[in-house]
Structure 1
């Protein structure tokens, strides 16, 4: 197991009695802002107002030993806290980049709002954080749901973005064309019934994971150890709001309009398509052709290309770290 995953695994084994480890030892639950779950670098906080609520945005700001004068912003996916960027942070820091890795509002160690989530709000929050840190321009490296946010940032704030790396992004198609709308309460009930084992199987299936089970366990803990928190219902509503965000605010139609240099890094086996199980059966097979979609979109863009990694699923940077490092650092250097 890589050292960074040993660190995260060791730090993340604080579990509730309902989700005890094999040794049966009782554990304390995490808070809904992942209190009790360790991150690989110090976490700071930034005050934001979203939907009329006073909220806190958590972030890691990692300064390299030998700065090259540039900054990379990392945008996480829906099912993962920003801590999973640990190997990428180290990779970029070693290359001289300052790295800012926020938890978007509604995720990880950031506040869980009571209302809906919107990409425009998340984009504004991210730019406001860069303003606070005195960062005028940055490269953006995004994964999964973060890819949708990266698209919105590159479209709304093109003068703030130098390069855009979309790592196994979702949102390359408009899921409304395949999946009927689902009431929020129905999704809440479904998510609440999900077990830790069921969630592990869901990740393995939806993401075509190539990681050994012990490397996935911290992600399971980050999701399920908060069920012991008295604020769990608030977390659950916020988590479901992120599912509705993906469905209600597509970005596929905006991607060809991105003017900044863009690199898609796709796993050949990644066919993740949110909502796919709810789509009519004849339409399901058409969903999630992500590598093909990335190639098509890149061809329509003024400065973009798509790289598809064989035998790789959704967690590209963990499954193929050497190739990912080569592609990203070469692209950012141009």
Structure 2
């Protein structure tokens, strides 16, 4: 089945392969399709790959009230329960990284290995609140998800990727996904995730952890990833040269090499 129900919301997911489960958590305004470059390599390496769309995103149901990081994390736990999975590895990018952090802290028994890519530990800043308010206004405007996608694309992926054949194919596919998205739902998520702060609790994370950053990421710069790595005992840090904010897509080969090497250890 492609859906599960939690808190009276019908959320979408898809899975591939068999073996040790790995859950891939996407960023705000995106969908599970953002993980396409990772799915086949993970399946070939013998993993069961589970890719949900967060509430209000992609093929999941629309929402009509704010949802925070803890709410989105509880959705993921409900998905594990739905699939009878006791424990999984988690790969979270940007917003997905925040959800993964909350899972590692609040549902630690369900988390094996943890990959935090292009992410950050807190949204409890004036700067993030202003950014989220801007996103929410854009999402609620006419054709808001498309407007936000087009504006964010140059920041999210590198110039080299944007100019490539794969970059143009990805732009077209993601543009269509944005055109079918519900702006009001995405606005509720943008507003709901503000105020989360795990920055003082990172030292409590006990799972083996990999931090991935991109040298060209202006949203979550490498220095932030290095600071997170220093707070998590035994964590590893990888900086991908030339990668922007969605490095799993614009630098897929390097991202996959780091991911596979970490999961295999």
TM-score of the two chains, using structure 1 as the length reference:
0.71
Alignment of 1:122-201 (within 5 A): 122-169=72-119, 171-174=120-123, 176-178=125-127, 188-191=136-139, 192-193=141-142, 198-201=147-150
Greater radius of gyration (CA):
1
Alignment CA distance shift 1:300-1:196 (3 Å): closer
Is 2:190 aligned against 1:240? no
Q: Secondary structure at the match of 2:40?
A: helix
1:303 alignment partner in structure 2: 234
Structure 1 contact 166–262 (Cα < 8 Å) conserved: yes
Residue in structure 1 matching 2:158, options 198, 209, 219:
209
Structure 2 contact 93–116 (Cα < 8 Å) conserved: yes
Q: Secondary structure at the match of 2:41?
A: helix
Q: CA deviation at 1:189?
A: 4.2
1:221 alignment partner in structure 2: 176
Alignment of 1:35-114 (within 5 A): 44-49=2-7, 54-64=8-18, 69-114=19-64
Alignment CA distance shift 1:135-1:268 (3 Å): same
Q: Secondary structure at the match of 1:266?
A: strand
**Aligned residues, how many?**
258
Q: Secondary structure at the match of 1:77?
A: coil
Residue in structure 2 matching 1:330, options 256, 261, 265:
261
Structure 2 contact 42–49 (Cα < 8 Å) conserved: yes
Structure 1 contact 174–252 (Cα < 8 Å) conserved: no
1:285 alignment partner in structure 2: none
1: CA distance, partners of 2:233 / 2:177: 39
In angstroms, what is the RMSD of aligned CA positions?
Answer: 2.4
Q: CA deviation at 1:62?
A: 1.2
2: CA distance, partners of 1:114 / 1:328: 36
Which sections of structure 1, spanning at least 5 residues, go unmatched?
A: 1-42, 227-234, 273-287
TM-score of the two chains, using structure 2 as the length reference:
0.88
Alignment CA distance shift 1:141-1:183 (3 Å): closer
Which structure: greater helix fraction? 2
1: CA distance, partners of 2:55 / 2:147: 26
Structure 1 contact 137–161 (Cα < 8 Å) conserved: yes
Which sections of structure 2, spanning at least 5 residues, go unmatched?
A: none
1: CA distance, partners of 2:149 / 2:65: 28
